[in-house]
Chain A
Amino acid sequence: MKKRKKRWDSVEILAFIALTVLAILIIIPFWNAVVIAFETSAAYVRSPFSWLPGEFTLDNFKYLGSKSSGLVRAYVNTIRLAVVGTLLGMAVMVVTAYAFSRNFPGKRPLFLIMLFTMFFGGGLVPTYLLIRNLGLNDTHTAIVMLSLASTYNIIVLRNGFESVPTDLQDAAMIDGANDFTIFAKVMLPLQKPMIATFTLFTIVGYWNNWYWPMLVLNSPDKTLLQVFLRSLITNASQMALGTEITGITDTMTVTYALGIQMAAVFVVILPIMLVYPFLQKYFVKGTLVGGIKM
Chain B
Amino acid sequence: MKNKKKSIWMEMWHSRYIYLMLLPFFVWLIIFHYGPMYGILLAFKKYNARRGIWGSDWVGLDNFRRIFITPMAVSSIRNTVLISLGRLIIQFPSPIVLAILINEMRGKRLKKVYQTIFTFPHFLSWVVVSAILTNFLSLNGAINSLLTWLGLDKVNFLTNRPLFVSMLFATGIWKGIGWSAIIYMAAIAGIDPTLYDAARVDGATRWQQIWHITLTGIRSTIAIVFILDVGGLMNAGFDQIFNMRNAVVSSAVEILDTYVYGITFAASPNYGFATAVGLFKSVINFALLMLANQTVGWLTGEKLYR
Contact = CB atoms under 8 A, between A and B. Distances in A.
A248 B123 CA distance: 37
A69 B31 CA distance: 37
A240 B243 contact: no
B185 to A, nearest CB: 8
Contact of B25 (A92, A229, A254, A283): A92
A250 to B, nearest CB: 12
B238 to A, nearest CB: 8
Interface string A270-294: 0011001001100110101100111
B239 A211 contact: yes
> Is chain B's interface secondary structure helix, strand, loop, or mixed overall?
helix
B18 interface: yes
Interface stretch (B68-76, B112-120, B161-169, B196-204): B112-120
A49 B21 contact: no
A204 B120 contact: no
Interface stretch (A58-66, A107-115, A163-171, A188-196): A107-115
B207 interface: yes
A1 interface: no
A146 B32 contact: yes
B186 interface: yes
A114 B271 contact: no
Contacts of A216: none
Interface string A124-140: 11111110000000000
A118 to B, nearest CB: 10
B215 interface: no
A99 B116 CA distance: 35
B117 A26 contact: yes
Q: Which of B32, B42, B98, B139 has the most CB of A within 10 A?
A: B32
B145 A122 contact: no
A258 B135 contact: yes
A269 B123 CA distance: 9
Interface residues of B, number: 96
A273 B38 CA distance: 41
B216 interface: no
A186 B28 CA distance: 27
Interface residues of A, number: 100
A61 to B, nearest CB: 16
A29 B21 contact: no
A12 interface: yes
B36 A123 contact: yes
Interface string A205-249: 000111100010000000000100110010001101100110000
Interface string B153-193: 00000010000000000000010011000110010010000
Given A95-B21, A125-B264, A294 B131 contact: no
A208 to B, nearest CB: 4
A22 B206 contact: no
Contacts of B26: 110, 113-114
Given A19-B102, A26-B121, A265 B53 contact: no
A11 B231 contact: no
Contacts of B151: none
B150 interface: no
Nearest to B146: A49
A266 to B, nearest CB: 10
Contacts of A47: 145
A231 to B, nearest CB: 10
B55 to A, nearest CB: 13
B35 interface: yes
A119 B53 contact: no
20 contacts: A8-B106, A12-B105, A19-B98, A22-B98, A22-B114, A26-B121, A29-B136, A32-B135, A49-B146, A92-B24, A123-B36, A126-B36, A126-B38, A129-B39, A149-B29, A179-B15, A226-B128, A240-B138, A276-B123, A286-B186
Interface of A: 8-12, 14-16, 18-20, 22-23, 25-30, 32-33, 36, 47-49, 92-93, 95-96, 98-100, 102, 104-106, 110, 113-115, 117, 119-130, 145-146, 148-149, 154, 178-180, 183, 204, 208-211, 215, 226, 229-230, 233, 237-238, 240-241, 244-245, 251, 254-255, 258, 261-262, 265, 268-269, 272-273, 276, 279-280, 283-284, 286, 288-289, 292-294
